[in-house]
Amino acid sequence: MLQTPSGGAGHGAAAADSGLMSIGTVLNVLRDEFPEVTISKIRFLESEGLIEPRRTPSGYRKFSAEDVERLGHVLRMQRDHYLPLKVIREHLDATGRGDVGVVPPPTVGRQRDGEAVLEPADLPTAARIGRAELLAAAGIDERDLEEWESYGLIAPLPDGAYDAETVTVASLVAELGRFGIEPRHLRVMKAAADREAGLVDQVVAPLRRHRNPQTRVHAEARTRELAGLAVKLHSALVQTALGVRLP
C-alpha cells in the first residue's frame, strides 16, 4: 500500500482522495450492468447536473462510491422506467431532501378486461437536449455541428432538439477527427448504421403494428435487444477484420 508522510497537507490530500475513481474505472464498473454506457454519456449526465464528481487541480474527474451508485440509479431509471432526465433529477433531489418516494412507473394508458394496459404513446419520450447543450456537452462549435449535419452524421429531431445519444455520436466524430478521419469519410459508417437499423426495424415492425397495445410496448424492448446485438456484432466484425482485440 502506498503511504504518504504522516501529518501535513500531503497526508490530508491522500486521505481525501482514497477510494476515488477515475472516469475510466467508473465506466468499467458500470459496464457489467450497462454495457452500452460510454464516457460521453457520463460526461453528459454531469453536464445535466445529475452527478457532481470532484475535480483534481489539473481538471480530472474523480468519482466517489456514492457518485457511482447515483450514476447507476440514473441509468437504471432511464432503462427500466423510460424516464426523462428532468423527472429523474426531480426524483433524486426529492430523495436528497428526505422526501422518499416511489419511482414513477410508465404511464398506464387504459383499462382492458379489468387490467391496466400500457400504450406506447403514453411512455415518456427519450431524453432530449437543445443545440446549445449538445455543443457544450460534446465540446464542439457551431461550424463542426453544421458540417456534420451536412453529411447526415447528426440530425435534429422534428422539433429542433436532439436525442441525448447524439452527444456520444458528436464526441466520437470529434475524436476520430483528431486522427485525420474527416466527416466525409464517415458517410460509409452512417450508411452501414442505417442499413442495420433498417434490418432491426424490419424484424420488429410486425410487433409495432399489432393490435394488442402490450405487444407494441414489447416491440420497444425487442428493438433495444436487437440493437445491442447488432452493435456487438459490428464491433466484433471490425475487430476481426483488423486483427485486433479491444479491452
pTM reported for the whole predicted model: 0.49
> Which neighbouring-strand residues pair with 129?
162
CATH architecture of 126-181: Orthogonal Bundle (1.10)
Going residue by residue through the chain, which has 247 residues, state the pLDDT in tens, using 9 for 90 and above.
Answer: 333 344 444 444 443 455 799 999 999 999 888 888 888 889 888 888 889 999 998 889 999 999 999 999 888 887 777 667 777 888 787 777 665 554 544 443 343 334 333 343 333 345 778 888 888 888 899 999 999 999 999 999 888 889 888 888 999 999 999 899 999 999 999 998 899 988 888 888 888 777 777 777 777 788 888 888 888 898 889 899 999 887 6
Q: Which three cell numbers stand for residue 48?
A: 445535466
- Identify the CATH number of the domain defined by range 19-104: 1.10.1660.10
Q: Where in the chain is the domain with CATH 1.10.1660.10?
A: 19-104, 126-181
What residues have CB less than 8 Å from 235, skipping those under 6 apart? 246
Cell 476520430 sits at which residue? 176
- Cα 120 to the chain's mean position, in Å? 21
Q: According to the model, what pLDDT value does residue 247 have?
A: 66
